[in-house]
Structure 1
Amino acid sequence: MTAAALGRLHVLTDARAGRDALAVTGAALAAGAPVAQLRVKGATDRDVYELGRRLMALCAEYQALCIVNDRVDIAVAIGAHGTHLGATDLPIEAVRRVAGPGHLIGGTAREPGLAARLVQEGADYLGVGPAFATRTKDGLPDPIGPTMIGAVAGAVRVPVIAIGGITVDRVPELMAAGAYGVAVVGAISDAVDPQEATKQLLVAVTP
């Protein structure tokens, strides 16, 4: 697996209470979403593993990539294609030793210097944000906006995936700034029709 295989629309499972995360993500995959990311907070390891197995099965059905947020152990256990790392997760080098050379590893950056260092350490792609204010995850820093997304993209030669407060109307500005693609939660999980929302986002990220 290489970064060249990375799709431009990443759909994250919605970790907010009361959401049927798998149903919404499954609808997005059915509509053509190329990447699904398992993000679960406050659950037991067994629950995360079981949800991951079900998500991996959906990804296999729709020929999409499956990436696990934070947990390389879960990613390897379910046979996922990659792991996305936050600032306090294992170092990229350690994840590479665990997961092997074919495993996609995503890093998280907000500014060009860190982005360049993560790529030097072996990150295959970067999640950059929050681009805009968002309510789907607590404790996030201030939004950095399209200009800083572009500055990060200009500093590295790997795909930059903008995340945070993404709506279909905001995608063109992010792509014009240099983002390779976008990662979304609420834009699909809050939509009346998640499949239609996915289709609109896919059109928006297509060069």
Structure 2
Amino acid sequence: MVDFSLYLVTDRTLSLGRSTIDIVRAAVAGGVTCVQLREKKCATRFFIEEARLIKELLTKINPAVPLIINDRLDVALAVGADGVHLGQTDMAAVDARRLIGSSCIMGISVESVADAIRAENEGADYIGISPVFATTTKDDTVEPLGLQGIQAIRAAVSLPLVAIGGITADNTAEVIRAGADGIAVVSAIVGSPSPEDAARALKTQIIASRQHNRASTA
């Protein structure tokens, strides 16, 4: 079973001049459990080469951490990635599933309860709730859903929920307590002076929040 608790989304524009592979290596050392390679403005050949390098790295340092490719189903298939993550304007989930098969992870970004229900019905393996809070790493998002949005989607679907958008070590606890199974972060790790330390701090908050949830329901 995939651990979506601490999900890294890469972004070269925020990396402070460091390579994506170095960011990923440090973040996994700090506790990242899933890596999404997101490249919006590079050539396809570069994207494929970078994805292969990161897949090789993850296989070497922690095979349990899957590589998810953002948007580009062709890149995911070319490198044998573990999964693909699709937005509301990307290829339809049912079409993507036919191409990638049943063993490949498929995540879908949702912006409403209706989106989440549709994603579950169309075969998603997990749902990305976006955005939870205001964020500067994407400029094509709707109004933030907030903690109430997480709660509403949690009540509507049974799939793992990964919350993204403006999440930091300061608000991770409330996001997990609201019903998210994990958090996806970009700048909180990629833009940190120490991606390893940043990942470790986030992981600490996730573990503590899960313990709180278990204790409150016991």
Q: What range is the shorter-chain TM-score in?
A: over 0.9
CA distance in 1 between counterparts of 2:47 and 2:180 reads: 30
Q: Tell me how far 1:114 sits from its aligned partner.
A: 1.5
CA distance in 2 between counterparts of 1:137 and 1:112 reads: 21
CA distance in 2 between counterparts of 1:174 and 1:32 reads: 18
Is the partner of 2:108 in helix, strand or coil?
strand
Q: Tell me how far 1:32 sits from its aligned partner.
A: 2.6
Q: How does 1:28-177 map to 2 (within 5 A)?
A: 28-61=27-60, 62-63=62-63, 64-177=65-178
Moved more, 135-144 or 53-62: 135-144
Q: Which amino acid aligns with 1:16?
A: T
CA distance in 2 between counterparts of 1:15 and 1:70 reads: 16
- The alignment status of 1:11 with 2:8, answered yes or no, reads yes
Is the partner of 2:41 in helix, strand or coil?
coil
| Structure exhibiting the larger radius of gyration computed from Cα positions | 2
Is the partner of 1:68 in helix, strand or coil?
strand
Q: Tell me how far 1:23 sits from its aligned partner.
A: 1.8
Structure 2 length normalisation: TM-score? 0.89
Is the partner of 2:124 in helix, strand or coil?
coil
Is the partner of 2:203 in helix, strand or coil?
helix
1:12·1:25 contact (CA, 8 Å) conserved in 2?
no
Where does residue 216 of structure 2 map in the other structure? none
Q: Tell me how far 1:30 sits from its aligned partner.
A: 2.3
CA distance in 2 between counterparts of 1:122 and 1:15 reads: 31
2:4·2:183 contact (CA, 8 Å) conserved in 1?
no
Moved more, 72-81 or 179-188: 72-81
Unaligned 5+ segments in structure 2 are 211-218
- Cα deviations by residue, 1:116-147 (Å, 9 ceiling, x for unpaired): 11100101100001111111222322211111
Superposition misfits of 4+ residues, deviation over 4 angstroms: none
Is the partner of 1:161 in helix, strand or coil?
strand
Structure 1 length normalisation: TM-score? 0.93
Q: Alignment length, in residue pairs?
A: 204
Is the partner of 2:132 in helix, strand or coil?
coil
1:129·1:149 contact (CA, 8 Å) conserved in 2?
no
CA distance in 2 between counterparts of 1:89 and 1:147 reads: 26
* Aligned sequence identity (%): 37
CA distance in 1 between counterparts of 2:181 and 2:100 reads: 25
CA distance in 2 between counterparts of 1:97 and 1:139 reads: 27
1:150·1:178 contact (CA, 8 Å) conserved in 2?
yes
Q: Which amino acid aligns with 1:74?
A: V
1:131·1:164 contact (CA, 8 Å) conserved in 2?
yes
CA distance in 2 between counterparts of 1:91 and 1:54 reads: 28
Q: Which amino acid aligns with 1:159?
A: P
- Cα deviations by residue, 1:77-122 (Å, 9 ceiling, x for unpaired): 1111110000111111111111111011001112111201110010
1:16·1:136 contact (CA, 8 Å) conserved in 2?
no
Q: Which amino acid aligns with 2:197?
A: E
CA distance in 2 between counterparts of 1:32 and 1:168 reads: 14
2:6·2:31 contact (CA, 8 Å) conserved in 1?
no
CA distance in 2 between counterparts of 1:153 and 1:101 reads: 24
CA distance in 2 between counterparts of 1:197 and 1:118 reads: 31
